[in-house]
């Protein structure tokens, strides 16, 4: 009984940490897809770049963890604005196939660029002194860094939700997701709104990639290997939704951890099967617009 309890706690804890990373990375994708209907398969690139910027600043220039993470957020948000204005914005009216191909192209180029700049090996993620080791609650030990990660992610998510619900900017985003043309006729500059949202979403992805570097290892294949997970969170959660992907990330994070722990011989089989089931049951995702 005690072993069973220990397993449940362990799965929930690690699954939660994983889910937080997935959500922080994917939420921006959900909003930008909902806002502009852009099928962007290159979102993982921003998370990957965030991880690279952070680990490089820490390992090579000795920058403290917090500042490195913040720099990754800012740097990637700036890069994404440039990409959005020069390339993405040309394709808002294009078909899905063009958007898919374009973003796959971006992924290929990013993978090659990263391999050139940083080499093929995974980046070393040095957890700051303070957050190393583990601590005990009720005679169970929890890794400190993962606990920190969960707490910080929760804080970021809370701030994001408050921002979306309570600020003028958030209200504009919600209005534009619900009905873009109506929002435009009310005088909301949806083009600028989208650029800002895109930057924010990419910055958050970079943040997630950086803080989660010890769960999802930063390597050149990152944008390809984890793409399916980010897309799953968004598709299952529902495009344009903020809360849907949270539920989806929890399901995915905890479900995946449980599968790996309980039935490792089946790999990710159940995960993909349940995603298929959910999408067939609700093609627009759990919280998507019908």
* Contact residues for another protein, defined by CB under 8 A: 33, 39, 87, 90-91, 94, 96-98, 100-102, 104-113, 115-116, 220, 224, 228, 231-232, 234-235, 239, 265-269, 272-273, 275-276, 279-280, 283-285
Strand spans (E) along the chain = 134-137, 140-143
CB of 262 to another protein, least distance (A): 15
Measured CA distances, 219 to 44, 129, 160, 212, 233 (Å): 12, 24, 28, 13, 21
Select 106 or 258, whichever has its Cβ closest to another protein. Answer: 106
CB of 213 to another protein, least distance (A): 21
Distance between CA atoms of residues 278 and 238, nearest Å: 11
Select 8 or 262, whichever has its Cβ closest to another protein. Answer: 262
**CB 77 within 8 Å of CB 200:** yes
- The SS3 call for residue 215 is coil
CB of 250 to another protein, least distance (A): 19
Select 107 or 157, whichever has its Cβ closest to another protein. Answer: 107
Select 156 or 236, whichever has its Cβ closest to another protein. Answer: 236
Read off the DSSP letter of residue 147. Answer: H
CB of 73 to another protein, least distance (A): 25
CB of 154 to another protein, least distance (A): 28
Distance between CA atoms of residues 258 and 282, nearest Å: 24
Q: What dihedral do alpha carbons 252, 253, 254, 259 form, nearest 10°?
A: 70
CB of 110 to another protein, least distance (A): 8
Select 150 or 231, whichever has its Cβ closest to another protein. Answer: 231
Select 213 or 239, whichever has its Cβ closest to another protein. Answer: 239
Q: What is the DSSP track for 97-111?
A: HHHHHHHHHHHHHHH
Neighbours of 120 (CB within 10 A): 10
């Amino acid at each position: 009984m005690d072993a069973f309890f220990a397993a449940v706690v362990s799965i929930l804890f690690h699954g939660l940490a994983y889910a937080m990373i997935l959500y922080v990375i994917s939420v921006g994708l959900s909003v930008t897809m909902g806002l502009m209907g852009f099928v962007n398969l290159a979102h993982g690139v921003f998370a990957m770049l965030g991880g690279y910027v952070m680990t490089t600043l820490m390992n090579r220039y000795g920058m403290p963890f917090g500042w490195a993470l913040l720099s990754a957020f800012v740097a990637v948000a700036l890069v994404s604005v440039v990409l959005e204005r020069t390339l993405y914005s040309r394709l808002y009216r294009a078909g899905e196939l063009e958007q898919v191909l374009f973003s796959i192209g971006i992924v290929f180029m990013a993978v090659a660029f990263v391999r050139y700049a940083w080499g093929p090996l995974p980046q070393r993620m040095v957890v700051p002194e303070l957050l190393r080791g583990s601590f005990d609650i009720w005679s169970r030990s929890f890794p400190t860094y993962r606990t920190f990660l969960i707490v910080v992610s929760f804080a970021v998510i809370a701030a994001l939700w408050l921002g979306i619900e309570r600020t003028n900017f958030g209200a504009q985003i919600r209005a534009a997701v619900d009905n873009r043309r109506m929002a435009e006729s009310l005088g909301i500059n949806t083009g600028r709104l989208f650029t800002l949202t895109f930057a924010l979403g990419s910055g958050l992805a970079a943040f997630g990639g950086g803080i989660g570097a010890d769960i999802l290892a930063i390597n050149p294949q990152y944008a390809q290997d984890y793409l399916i997970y980010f897309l799953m969170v968004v598709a299952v959660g529902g495009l344009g939704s903020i809360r849907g992907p949270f539920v989806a990330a929890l399901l995915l994070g905890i479900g995946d951890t449980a599968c790996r722990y309980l039935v490792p011989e089946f790999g990710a089989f159940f995960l993909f099967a349940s995603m298929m089931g959910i999408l067939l049951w609700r093609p627009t995702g759990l919280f998507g617009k019908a």
